[in-house]
Amino acid sequence: MSPLPSLAPSPTQELRKLVIGEVSNITRSVQPSMYTPQHVSIGPNHRTWHPTLARDDEKNACLRAILPVETTVEACLDELTLLEDQARSCYSRKVDNMDSDQFVRTLLRDGCYLLACFKEDDADDDGRSSDGSASSPADHRGGTPSVVPATGGRNTLDDVAVVRDVFFLAENQIPFFVVDKIHQLSVVDGGAPTVNPVVWYPKKLLECRQYSVAEPEIGGESWPGDLLHLLYMHLMPAVLKGKAKAPSGRGVPDKKTVGRWRKATEYDSAGIKFRSLPLGTDGVSCILDVKMDSRRGILGVPRLNIDADTWRLLRNLMALEQHNPEATGKHVTAYCIFMSQVASTAADVDLLSGNGVIVHVLGSHTDAAVFFTSLCKGIMFNANEPGSNYLLATYHQMEKQFRSRLRRWKALLVRKHSNPWITVGLIAGALGLACVPWCKQFSLFWVTGMERAN
């Protein structure tokens, strides 16, 4: 069978390269399992480090399922060989333990595996819904994203493990332009071009977890570097949307030095209250949309639902930013530092949970606080650089509110005299004091009048 003619370059090939980096030893040492796949390896990194997770039999089955019968494996390998140098350059660690054939075959198998796992799933064999439109697995499971296991069976635990390993781990990735190229190769000659089925999945996944309802533009100059970056694109705070991104680490430092965020209980004692912000309202599209209402002294924070994979996701998103500050910024890191410092004790977590800012199913508030305090260990971040810290203005607003003597006095008064009868007594006493001058004036008029009458 004749080889395929070379396809047009994927849009992702023309954009700034995103680095698939190794997590630093100091960061990994805090909790190594947060960065290690448990079910399947994707890309050369963990294929080398954990060969038992390669799952080549499953991946070969996916390859046969994804590629059209008229497309040979050799033709696909030839196409990917044209991208080999570019793909190798995406890894921070030189991939020198694989020759050209091994590396390209790894990319092909892994790319087909991803496309097969996250293909559009419907009752119809052609992946179309009854009205002819493309559907997703979420349409058939009550709105909850799912995957189609590569084995062809249904195993919920495997589904969860696949999603966790291929979307949440910074090191367990292949470049997205490789996945997109394989998707192009999977289109039958003469068939209409379709949207890469992997693209829609992060939106469903984050909506299900209530982390984001954003709909970022995927295309043109906004193409992901890998699947973790694709998910990352849904977590852009509203204050940064539509603005030219200042290069991370190159912004003009703020004249006011930024210290640690205070604990939630300290802010509360100064009269600053925390409130949960619902996603999809008032410009709030993701958990990073923290908003300060200085007039009312209320900090609005979108609810963070904490599950078994929350810490893994946040840690790996920060690892992505550590290796790609110019391409991504560091807004997830800024958010994580904020949360790790305001929720650093059990009392803080209790307060935030009571206000709907945090929802967790851990053993205790103490367990949650321990996770928060260790969340950013080993992470490098300069809070004084506007290009890195999107919460810089919020921090200064909070400090101004915290140091306000009037607000602290009012908060102390409310805290000490919260009994409503005491409040009524204070009001009555204030009215009595206000009436004293009038009583004196009336007495003077009465005495003067009596003297004149006599």
- Compute the distance between CA of residue 322 and CA of residue 28 in angstroms, rounded to an integer: 13
Percent of the chain as helix, strand, coil, to the nearest 5: 50, 5, 45
Question: Who's near 90: CB < 8 A, 6+ residues apart?
Answer: 17, 18, 19, 20, 175, 225
Residues of the chain with pLDDT under 50: 1-9, 11-15, 122-154
CA distance 390 to 239: 8
Quote the DSSP letter at residue 236: -
DSSP 338-382: HHHHHT-SHHHHHHHHHTTSEEE-SS-HHHHHHHHHHTTTT----
Structural contact between residues 208 and 234, judged by C-beta atoms closer than 8 angstroms? no
Which amino acid type is present at position 264? A
Which residues, listed in sequence order, are joined to residue 91 by a DSSP beta bridge? 20
Grouping H, G, I as helix, E, B as strand and the rest as coil, residue 140 is helix
Beta bridge partners of 291: 300
N-term to C-term CA, the chain: 131
At 127 the pLDDT is: 39
87 and 107 Cβ atoms separated by less than 8 Å: yes
Report the C-alpha gap between 47 and 31 in whole angstroms.
Answer: 20
DSSP tag of 153: S
Q: What is the pLDDT at residue 417? A: 56
Residue 336 half-sphere exposure toward CB, CA atoms < 13 A: 28
